[in-house]
Copies of this chain bind each other. A is one copy, B any other.
Amino acid sequence: MIVVKVGGSAGIDYDAVCADIAARWKTGERLILVHGGSGETNRVAEALGHPPKFVTSPSGYTSRFTDRQTLEIFEMVYCGKMNKGIVERLQRLGVNAVGLSGLDGRILEGKHKDSVRAVENGKVKVLRGDHTGTVERVNTHLIDLLLAGGYLPVLTPPASSYDGVAINVDGDRAAAALAVALKADALLLLSNVPGLLRAYPDETSLIREIPAADVEHYLEFAQDRMKKKVLGAAEAVQGGVRRVIFGDARNGEPVSAALNGQGTVVS
């Protein structure tokens, strides 16, 4: 079992990702695809007159502030346009894909965080009305049912709170939680860079290998969204996933290339 997470940033070639997944699926390999949609969500939110708001926590992590209206725009893009676009690509390639959010069958559950601490102009503020959280529990029953039935699951945030409220969760860490729960052989975190870079954005500074015991020490090289990927990788290896690979989803055969060791391999 391989869990593939593909981001939602500019430059990602979803056609290439889906073609590669379809080819591998047809050989009998079992995969799950988790995707994002952040870039498109920002564009749609701007167009709808409710521009995105990002907050930075005191520990330096950036995340989307998700009020109710933002959550609905988020669902439109992640669960509507992105999810069904990917399912359609896979269906056209003859793969019987099924697109779901973490709300469906409560696949992904966690606590609803209504408030977030954010640094603004050097001061720490508390912002309320947030619909976010962290995946704490993965209910694998529905995924197992789909895989046993011959369906390829295509998953996306939001997740469900323990009370059934939709919460925005980080897609990389959600994929890590899925990989742990499903005892996946590998977790691929694919984005629009070749992997973790020692001197971002210099692509020749790619870090080729990270020892599993040492993942968190590499946080210092991670910029912005890459921080969550490194955190997700640490959580996955701590949870028993033997290989986590940061790979490039911009062209070629992104899944096969990553599994062949191109990118940053954590093992």
Contact surface of A with B, Cβ cutoff 8 Å: 44, 47-49, 72, 75-81, 83-85, 87-88, 90-94, 96-101, 103-106, 141-142, 145-146, 149, 151, 158, 160, 163-166
Contact = CB atoms under 8 A, between A and B. Distances in A.
Given A80-B76, A84-B79, A84-B101, A91 B145 contact: no
Contacts of A93: 164
A149 B90 CA distance: 25
A176 B91 CA distance: 24
A162 to B, nearest CB: 10
12 contacts: A47-B47, A47-B49, A72-B80, A72-B81, A72-B85, A78-B80, A87-B101, A88-B103, A88-B165, A91-B160, A93-B164, A145-B149
Nearest to A92: B164
Nearest to A94: B164
A203 B103 CA distance: 38
Given A75-B81, A142-B149, 17 more contacts: A47-B49, A72-B80, A75-B80, A76-B77, A77-B80, A79-B84, A79-B99, A80-B80, A84-B101, A91-B164, A92-B165, A96-B106, A99-B104, A100-B100, A105-B151, A141-B149, A142-B151
B79 A91 contact: no
A81 B80 contact: yes
Contact of A80 (B79, B87, B151): B79
B84 A103 contact: yes
Contacts of A92: 163-165
Contacts of A151: 105, 142
B76 A91 contact: no
A230 B149 CA distance: 35
Given A94-B164, A104-B97, A142-B98, A81 B76 contact: yes
Contacts of A106: 91, 96
Nearest to A144: B149
A77 B149 CA distance: 28
A44 B165 CA distance: 23
A72 to B, nearest CB: 5
A77 B48 CA distance: 13
Contact of A79 (B79, B142, B160): B79
A260 to B, nearest CB: 29
Contacts of A87: 101, 103-104
A164 B92 CA distance: 4
A203 to B, nearest CB: 32
A79 B104 CA distance: 12
